[in-house]
């Protein structure tokens, strides 16, 4: 089997490429950075410029599925200019791939797109399944709606579409975890806002495993990609501190202060999404890390 991955050089992409290689799946990948193009056994990179619709048709040769992970990082300050980049980078990448499939002979049967649980409205009590119809009114909610619509367009090409609503990915290399750990390691950790907000997390090896499972079983539709045991921000903070034998002695960091230093991006830390992963379990996926304690022990222990 040969797979094309866009955004393969990022946090999830690197773990996924490694999983694919282990499973004997050949990988082509698209990168916007020429210096990231490499050719290793079973893994070949191609340059693309999604904004201009530039994509080397050779990248599609022999490919039966596409996984699109590409998109500008949500952890840079959300100026109005950058908000456009956040949205456009996701729409343009899907469009460029769609256009390439329309314009070239190909054997692609399955399109799998990254998506986010931030589509769900912030709630301390609601448990979100994939069939939820309420949509967050915040910026990221609107981004996810348009991102998923861009993925759905592949159905018009007769291709199966899967959308992976991803929770907070925990990895020691990058993403949320090193950022959460910084103050804690200095003994300055504190819960954020009320600390009651739900954080639906997923271990890096599970998010890579989930993409592989969806691919290998050709599962289509929306899937929440979160561990079966979300925690509150307060519990997450305490468990992280425990890993470094630190106490949480500071009061919670108030919402207004987070908004002052992070601007609208503070939503990422303050919103509450309690998300269910039964659909994945029913689809036969077996999590490596079900509890946060075990996940942190693996990543940091
Ligand atoms: N990590 C999480 O906690 C999390 C949670 C929910 C959803 N997601 C979503 O899952 C996807 C993968 O996440 P990740 O953590 O692996 O992200 P990441 O580390 O930021 O990697 C994303 C990749 O997208 C490409 N990219 C960046 N800016 C781009 C732009 N303007 N246009 C086109 N491509 C661009 C880059 O690849 P090149 O430099 O090679 O082009 C980059 O390696 C993202 O769409 C993210 O929003 C992640």
Question: Is 130 part of any domain?
Answer: yes
Instruction: Give tens-digit pLDDT for 34-45.
Output: 999 998 999 999
Instruction: Identify the band that residue 186 occupies on the pLDDT scale cut at 50, 70 and 90.
Output: very high
Range of the domain at 22: 2-169+202-226
Residue range 83-99: mean pLDDT, rounded = 98
Question: Is 41 part of any domain?
Answer: yes
Instruction: Identify the band that residue 86 occupies on the pLDDT scale cut at 50, 70 and 90.
Output: very high
Distance CA 142, CA 145 (A): 5
Which residue's CA is the closest to the ligand 1 atom numbered 32? 89
Instruction: Give tens-digit pLDDT for 224-268.
Output: 999 999 999 999 999 999 999 999 999 999 999 999 999 999 999
42 CA from centroid of ligand 1 (Å): 22
Q: What is the pLDDT of residue 176?
A: 95
Specify the CATH number for the domain of residue 212. Answer: 3.40.50.720
Q: What is the pLDDT of residue 228?
A: 98
Question: Is 197 part of any domain?
Answer: no
44: β partners: 28, 39
**Do β-strands 43-49 and 54-55 pair in parallel, antiparallel, or remain unpaired?**
antiparallel
Atom of ligand 1 nearest to the CA of 117: 6
Question: Is 260 part of any domain?
Answer: no
Distance CA 217, CA 33 (A): 32
With the most atoms of ligand 1 within 8 angstroms of its CB, the residue from 7, 36, 275 to mutate is 7
Question: Is 242 part of any domain?
Answer: no
Residue range 188-197: mean pLDDT, rounded = 97
Which residue's CA is the closest to the ligand 1 atom numbered 23? 7
Q: What would the two tokens of residue 83 be? A: 């908000």
Q: Residue 124 class from Cβ within 10 Å (0-12 exposed, 13-18 middle, 19+ buried)?
A: exposed
User: What is the number of structural domains in the chain?
Assistant: 1
Q: Which residues does 242 contact at the CB level (< 8 Å), separation at least 6?
A: none
Question: Is 240 part of any domain?
Answer: no
Instruction: Identify the band that residue 17 occupies on the pLDDT scale cut at 50, 70 and 90.
Output: very high
Rg of the chain over CA atoms, in angstroms?
19
Question: Is 237 part of any domain?
Answer: no
Residue range 172-192: mean pLDDT, rounded = 95
Residue range 136-156: mean pLDDT, rounded = 97
Residues lining ligand 1, judged by CB closer than 6 Å? 7, 9-13, 31-33, 36, 50, 69-74, 85, 89, 93, 114, 116, 166, 168-169, 175-176
Q: 37-73: buried (b, 16+ CB within 10 Å) or exposed (e) per residue?
A: eeeeeebbbbebebeeeebeeebbeebbbbbbbbbbe
Atom of ligand 1 nearest to the CA of 73: 20
Instruction: Identify the band that residue 168 occupies on the pLDDT scale cut at 50, 70 and 90.
Output: very high
Share of the chain above pLDDT 70, in %: 100
Q: What is the pLDDT of residue 194?
A: 97
The answer to whether the CB of 225 falls within 8 A of the CB of 202 is yes
Q: What is the pLDDT of residue 123?
A: 98
Question: Is 120 part of any domain?
Answer: yes
Q: What is the pLDDT of residue 61?
A: 98
Q: What is the pLDDT of residue 149?
A: 98
The answer to whether the CB of 291 falls within 8 A of the CB of 276 is no
Q: What is the pTM of this model?
A: 0.98
Q: What is the pLDDT of residue 109?
A: 98
CA atoms within 13 A on the CB side of 241: 19
Q: Which residues does 132 contact at the CB level (< 8 Å), separation at least 6?
A: 120
245 CA from centroid of ligand 1 (Å): 33
Q: What φ, ψ does residue 19 adopt, rounded to 5°?
A: -60, -45
Instruction: Identify the band that residue 211 occupies on the pLDDT scale cut at 50, 70 and 90.
Output: very high
């Amino acid at each position: 089997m040969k797979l094309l991955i866009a955004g393969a050089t990022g946090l999830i992409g690197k773990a996924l490429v490694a999983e694919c290689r282990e499973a004997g799946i050949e990988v082509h990948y698209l990168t916007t950075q020429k210096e990231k193009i490499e050719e290793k056994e079973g893994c070949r990179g191609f340059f693309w410029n999604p904004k201009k619709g530039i994509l080397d048709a050779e990248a599609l040769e022999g490919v039966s599925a596409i996984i699109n992970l590409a998109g500008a990082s949500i952890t840079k300050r959300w100026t109005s200019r950058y908000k456009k980049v956040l949205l456009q980078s996701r729409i343009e990448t899907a469009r460029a791939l769609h256009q390439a499939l329309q314009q070239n002979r190909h054997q692609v049967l399955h399109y799998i797109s990254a998506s986010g649980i931030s589509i769900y409205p912030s709630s301390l009590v609601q448990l979100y399944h994939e069939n939820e119809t309420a949509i967050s009114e915040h910026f990221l909610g609107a981004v996810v709606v348009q991102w998923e619509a861009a993925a759905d367009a592949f159905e018009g090409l007769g291709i199966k579409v899967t959308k992976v609503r991803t929770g907070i990915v925990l990895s020691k290399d990058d993403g949320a975890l090193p950022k959460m750990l910084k103050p804690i390691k200095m003994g300055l950790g504190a819960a954020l806002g009320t600390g009651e907000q739900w954080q639906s997390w997923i271990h890096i090896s599970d998010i890579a495993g989930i993409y592989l499972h969806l691919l290998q079983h050709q599962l289509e539709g929306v899937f929440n990609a979160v561990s079966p045991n979300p925690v509150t921000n307060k519990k997450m903070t305490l468990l992280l501190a425990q890993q470094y034998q630190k106490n949480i002695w500071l009061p919670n960091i108030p919402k207004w202060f987070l908004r002052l230093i992070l601007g609208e991006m503070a939503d990422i830390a303050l919103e509450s999404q309690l998300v269910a992963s039964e659909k994945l379990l029913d689809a036969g996926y077996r999590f490596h890390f079900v509890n946060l304690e075990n996940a942190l022990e693996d990543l940091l222990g």
